[in-house]
Chains A and B, each alone.
Chain A
Amino acid sequence: MSSGEALLEVKGLVKHFPIDRGVMLRRNVGAVRAVDGIEFDVMRGETFGIVGESGSGKSTTARLIARLLDPTAGEVRFEGRDITALRGAGLKPIRRELQMVFQDPYSSLNPRKTIGSIVAEPLVIHRVEPDRSARKRAVQELMDTVGLNPEHYNRYPHEFSGGQRQRVGIARALALRPKLLIADEPASALDVSIQAQVLNLLRDLQRRFGLTMVFISHDLSVVRHMCDRIAVMHDGRIVEVASNEALYDAPGDPYTRELLAAVPGARRVARRTIPA
């Protein structure tokens, strides 16, 4: 599954959101410690899962890795290069390699743009395929890859279902052939019968394009299905990183065990993991 080389390295990553108080001169009195010092590596070709409840810091972590947020401290290295301090124009080349799929298919697409232009936008920004007709063909090919009808190039997001919109988001993320795809709860807002389609699509695309994936979710069952290695987050920290088998068969951390036991219909798992 993975080739043993780390595509993404995260060390001592911290993100604090400051809280200010004061009358005229605002004083910082504290901070929300969304991510409080985490460390992990993502190997090339693998699917790395980050699982946690709300407030665990998993979504903030996703945004930090994607460099949509600036870290308060720590280091993010992509392909060995330190991308932590990059800002603005310096980040642009990174954006080609590192793309993100978002959770809410209803708000992550601009309702005023056709889906063709939504998927084409990364190509335009990074000046790939300057020729308009070549670009259109590339977009339609992408649409076909994700299971959308290329004839619907000129339709608007509201004309599509949630699952289809999520496919548009995935097509957009793949337009630049990134090396790393960060998926933040990509199927959570979808109906059960559609979730499976989107998850399967992601796995299929990963294989086809040789993608490395960071998969974030609150749903332990989904993560079990999708990921090779998994980090469990709680209160801004990683409490456990383990391979898929190890995590579900013999979870080490008590919080992990608590999470697993809480999944409805999952009592059988808890009984198996209590040490003899």
Chain B
Amino acid sequence: MSPFDGADTPEATATAASEAGSGAASSASSDAARPGEEPLLRVEDLRVSYATEDGTVQAVDGISYELGRGRTLGIVGESGSGKTVGALSVLGLTRAEGATVSGRIAFEGRDLLALEESELRAIRGEEIAMVFQDSLSSLHPMYRVGAQIVEAIRAHRDLAKAPARARAIELLDLVGIPEPSVRVDSYPHELSGGQRQRAMIAMALSGDPKLLIADEPTTALDVTVQAQILALLSRLQRERGMALVLVTHDLGVVAEMADEIAVMYAGRIVERAPAERLFTVPEHPYTWGLLRSIPTLDGPREELLTPIPGSPPSPLAPPSGCRFHPRCPYSEPEHARTDPALEPVPGQPDHEVACLLSSDTRRRLWKKLA
């Protein structure tokens, strides 16, 4: 899936709602899925806040995005951007942490936020699966890898131990772990970082999910291993028609993998665009700042990088008005008062930006910078 296809977003293909087997969505209890039109995942005005000793933290402050079947969305942001919390709330994993969640997360037309915990459990690991950053801490240290995969399998299917174990070995083989019938009995700490991450992916795939959410899946890995894992994810996507939400801070990773990229800052999406456009004609000053502050392998070797001044704001005290204005080289005084909404760029409905500067001004500025 080359991000530089430049193709339009394909229409979501109609798929039988009962494809995933047990615990699948029942249309009766929510909006009926309109085949051919409804994206696989539609997030509307998602807000997540935590009550802490220091005050209320608004980790995610109204984000909206869509993801079509089989497509890849990259969510890019730094610490405090809310990208991880946003990803966790899709599966309702923030509930356990006492978070207040509002908005709508429509998966195949069903609002996940309106579901009971038991209904949500049927979806977790089965239709939507998640892979985390630190595979060593995300796998239980005292159980063998195979046992943990078997547990995932048997949580959703009525399989006896032996066939479940055989399936686990199959999955380990699928993700490219050598000697899967031996490795199935390894403990997590006995595997290398790359193998562990593959095992986590195998576990996530056990329910044949339609959507995989990966939170920084390669950050802790060496660059050669990282490349292998990304290639694996691409291959699995192609083979299974699986959609992927890739949350990361690494722009290189999303350049490689994503069809569409959403840039998050201080709990909001500040820009959302097809991958090719984000790297060639970005619209938001934060995106410009990111692109210009990262050293690259190609392109001229800069004398000095152009960092974004200041630091990301604390979620406890976000700046007033445009959240980026204190660090934006182009901000005007009134930007501290008005909150920009995420709006499409003129003539480009797929490209949205939340910025108070006029589109012409931005175009001019970017031309000068690029």
* Closest B residue by C-beta to A199: B305
Q: Is B5 an interface residue (CB 8 A)?
A: no
Contact with A218, one of B223, B253, B312 (Cβ below 8 angstroms): B223
Known A192-B78, A193-B78: A264·B293 in contact at CB below 8 Å: no
Contacts of B307 in A (CB 8 A): 193-197, 200
Are A221 and B296 neighbours in the complex by a CB distance under 8 Å?
yes
Q: Is the interface of B mostly helix, strand, loop or mixed?
A: loop
Are B293 and A195 neighbours in the complex by a CB distance under 8 Å?
yes
Q: How far is the CA of A266 from the CA of B298 in the complex (A)?
A: 8
Are A264 and B226 neighbours in the complex by a CB distance under 8 Å?
yes
Contact with B224, one of A224, A226, A244, A258 (Cβ below 8 angstroms): A258
Are A260 and B256 neighbours in the complex by a CB distance under 8 Å?
no
Q: How far is the CA of A244 from the CA of B304 in the complex (A)?
A: 16
Q: How far is the CB of B166 from chain A (nearest CB, A)?
A: 33
B residues 292-312 in Cβ contact with A at 8 Å: 293-298, 301-302, 304-309, 311-312
* Closest B residue by C-beta to A191: B78
A residues 35-50 in Cβ contact with B at 8 Å: none
Q: How far is the CA of A226 from the CA of B305 in the complex (A)?
A: 10
Q: Is B174 an interface residue (CB 8 A)?
A: no
Q: Is A53 an interface residue (CB 8 A)?
A: yes
Interface string of A230-253 (1 = CB under 8 A from B): 000000000000001000100000
Known A264-B227, A264-B230: A193·B293 in contact at CB below 8 Å: yes
Q: Is A157 an interface residue (CB 8 A)?
A: no
Contacts of B304 in A (CB 8 A): 200, 203
Known A218-B223, A221-B294, A264-B252: A196·B306 in contact at CB below 8 Å: yes
Contacts of A53 in B (CB 8 A): 222-225
Contacts of A164 in B (CB 8 A): 311
Contacts of A203 in B (CB 8 A): 304
Are B312 and A196 neighbours in the complex by a CB distance under 8 Å?
no
Q: Is A225 an interface residue (CB 8 A)?
A: yes
Contact with A259, one of B79, B224, B311 (Cβ below 8 angstroms): B224
Q: How far is the CB of A216 from chain B (nearest CB, A)?
A: 15
B residues 64-102 in Cβ contact with A at 8 Å: 78-79
* Closest B residue by C-beta to A200: B304
* Closest B residue by C-beta to A255: B224
Are A224 and B301 neighbours in the complex by a CB distance under 8 Å?
yes
Contact with A196, one of B227, B230, B305 (Cβ below 8 angstroms): B305
Q: How far is the CB of A229 from chain B (nearest CB, A)?
A: 14
* Closest A residue by C-beta to B228: A262
B residues 184-232 in Cβ contact with A at 8 Å: 193, 222-227, 230
Q: Is A118 an interface residue (CB 8 A)?
A: no
Q: Is A268 an interface residue (CB 8 A)?
A: yes
Q: Is B250 an interface residue (CB 8 A)?
A: yes
Q: Is B317 an interface residue (CB 8 A)?
A: no
Are B250 and A264 neighbours in the complex by a CB distance under 8 Å?
yes
* Closest B residue by C-beta to A268: B298
Contacts of A226 in B (CB 8 A): 295
Q: What count of chain A residues pass the 8 Å CB interface test?
A: 36
Q: Is A254 an interface residue (CB 8 A)?
A: no
Q: How far is the CB of B97 from chain A (nearest CB, A)?
A: 22
Q: Is B289 an interface residue (CB 8 A)?
A: yes
Q: Is A57 an interface residue (CB 8 A)?
A: no
Are B301 and A200 neighbours in the complex by a CB distance under 8 Å?
no
Known A264-B227, A265-B252: A222·B295 in contact at CB below 8 Å: yes
Are A259 and B305 neighbours in the complex by a CB distance under 8 Å?
no
Contacts of A264 in B (CB 8 A): 226-227, 230, 250, 252-253, 255-257
Q: How far is the CA of A192 from the CA of B305 in the complex (A)?
A: 12
Q: How far is the CB of A2 from chain B (nearest CB, A)?
A: 17
Interface string of B238-282 (1 = CB under 8 A from A): 000000000001111101110000000000000000000000000
Contacts of B316 in A (CB 8 A): none
Q: Is B1 an interface residue (CB 8 A)?
A: no
Q: Is B341 an interface residue (CB 8 A)?
A: no
Q: Is B290 an interface residue (CB 8 A)?
A: yes
Are A225 and B302 neighbours in the complex by a CB distance under 8 Å?
yes
Q: How far is the CA of A161 from the CA of B256 in the complex (A)?
A: 30
Known A191-B249, A192-B290: A248·B226 in contact at CB below 8 Å: no
Contact with A265, one of B255, B289, B302, B311 (Cβ below 8 angstroms): B255
Q: Is A149 an interface residue (CB 8 A)?
A: no
Are A218 and B79 neighbours in the complex by a CB distance under 8 Å?
no
Contact with B222, one of A218, A221, A265 (Cβ below 8 angstroms): A218
Are A266 and B252 neighbours in the complex by a CB distance under 8 Å?
yes
**Of A199, A218, A225, which is in contact with the most chain B CB atoms at under 10 Å from its CB?**
A225
Are A266 and B297 neighbours in the complex by a CB distance under 8 Å?
yes
Q: Is A154 an interface residue (CB 8 A)?
A: no
Q: Is A269 an interface residue (CB 8 A)?
A: yes
Q: How far is the CB of A82 from chain B (nearest CB, A)?
A: 35
Contacts of A108 in B (CB 8 A): none
Known A53-B224, A196-B306, A199-B305: A191·B293 in contact at CB below 8 Å: no
Q: How far is the CA of A199 from the CA of B301 in the complex (A)?
A: 14
Q: How far is the CA of A269 from the CA of B223 in the complex (A)?
A: 15
A53-B225, A193-B289, A224-B296 known, 16 other contacts, Cβ within 8 Å: A192-B293, A192-B294, A193-B312, A196-B293, A196-B306, A197-B307, A200-B307, A221-B297, A225-B301, A244-B301, A260-B297, A262-B223, A262-B224, A265-B251, A265-B256, A269-B297
- Pick 12 A–B contacts, CB within 8 A, sort by A: A192-B78, A192-B290, A193-B307, A194-B307, A196-B308, A221-B295, A226-B295, A260-B297, A261-B227, A264-B226, A264-B252, A265-B251
Question: B residues near A, CB below 8 A?
Answer: 78-79, 193, 222-227, 230, 249-253, 255-257, 289-290, 293-298, 301-302, 304-309, 311-312
Question: A residues near B, CB below 8 A?
Answer: 53-54, 161, 163-164, 191-197, 199-200, 203, 218-222, 224-226, 244, 248, 258-266, 268-269
The 4 A-B residue pairs whose C-beta atoms are closest, nearest first, are: A196-B307, A225-B295, A196-B293, A265-B255
